Amino acid sequence: MKKIWVLLFIFVAFLLSACGLSKTQINEMSSSCDVMLEVRYIQNDSIALYVGNTMFVNTQQVVRSDFFPFLVSKRDPMDIDIPTATTVLNSPEEFIDYLKGSASSLSMVGLVMGENVKNEIGFEESDAIQKFTELLKTVEGSSLILFHEKGGQLVKAKKLF
């Protein structure tokens, strides 16, 4: 009888894992995004870095009660260590315009929750998702895909809108 329960459990576990997106599908979804917003915990840092089509947002920026002013520094992908001037974005409109400055279309935006975001005191993933969802819903015709990262790899994907 125990063998039957073990086999049934294994079968159900396999069935549930087969229903999820594959690693290849998740990577394809991320590569089709016009812009990626990656939320990460970086100790003693309070600005976002915009490299290529990816904005690395520090958890400190999300935890604050006021999302704006939002500080971001655009970096050259070939030499990320060279500092550039910091841009201060004071409103949702300025934030969206800034993203559109590098990506002409914001039809698909990816939001990545890094595995270390829980290291920030007061960080709530649901609050961060809500803040970015409210910002990006203002872009007509856009969609937002939520990704989760573990060990440097994207492991989950879910279309939010």
Percent of the chain residues topping a pLDDT of 90 = 63
Residue 29 region, left (φ>0) first, then alpha (ψ -120 to 50), else beta?
A: alpha
Residue 3 pLDDT greater than 80, yes or no: no
How many angstroms separate the CA atoms of 71 and 116, rounded? 21
- For residue 14, the model assigns a pLDDT of 57
Which of the residue ranges 10-14, 72-76, 142-146, 148-152 would you say has the lowest mean pLDDT?
10-14
Pairing of strands 48-51, 54-58: antiparallel
Amino acid 83: pLDDT:
83
pLDDT of residue 88: 95
**pLDDT higher than 60, residue 140:** yes
Beta bridge partners of 150: 153
Whole-prediction pTM: 0.82
pLDDT greater than 70 at residue 155: yes
54 versus 8: the higher-pLDDT residue is 54
| Banded pLDDT at 19 (limits 50, 70, 90) | low
| pLDDT above 70 as % of the chain | 88
Checking if the pLDDT of 7 tops 80, the result is no
Contacts of 86 (CB under 8 A, 6+ apart): 47, 71, 72, 73
Least confident of 11-15, 25-29, 83-87, 114-118: 11-15
- Average pLDDT rounded to a whole number, residues 66-93: 91
Of 38, 25, 22, 24, nearest to 109 (Cα)? 38
pLDDT given for residue 101 in this prediction: 85
